[in-house]
Amino acid sequence: MDVLEQKQGADIHLLEISELSVIADYFVICSGSSSRLVKALVQSVVEEIKDQYGIKPALEGEAEYGWMLADYGDVILHVFSPDRRNFYRLEELWSEGNTILRVQ
């Protein structure tokens, strides 16, 4: 979460969904103000996790389309452009989940 804040990620949301789904235990949802920032945010998290834990995620999406995902199994990182985040509204879709942290 710190790396997202340091790299100017916006509206960071950590949502526990373990009681609602088998696909993951947590979603980390974040916005980047441009496609370049969306890509940089994902790359920064991937590098940080790889350096600390030696884990590489499955990656999905394209920054140019306003959404990228890094899937670590139990934790899935979603980084959106503001308009894509508004379109998909993951926080609303998973509103029964437990909000662990929200950084505006």
Beta bridge partners of 77: 28, 70
pLDDT given at position 96? 93
Three-state SS string across the chain, please? CHHHHHCCCEEEEEEECCCCCCCCCEEEEEECCCHHHHHHHHHHHHHHHHHHHCCCCEEEEEHHHCEEEEECCCEEEEEECHHHHHHHCHHHHCCCCEEEEEEC
pLDDT given at position 91? 92
Q: How confident is the model at residue 104 (pLDDT cuts 50, 70, 90)?
A: confident
Q: Looking at the 3D structure of the chain, how many domains does it have? A: 1
Could you report the per-residue pLDDT of 10-34, keeping only the tens digit for each?
A: 999 999 999 999 999 999 999 999 9
The whole domain housing 9 covers 2-103
Q: If you search the block for the tokens 């942290």, which residue do you land on?
A: 101
Provide the CATH number for the domain around residue 50. Answer: 3.30.460.10
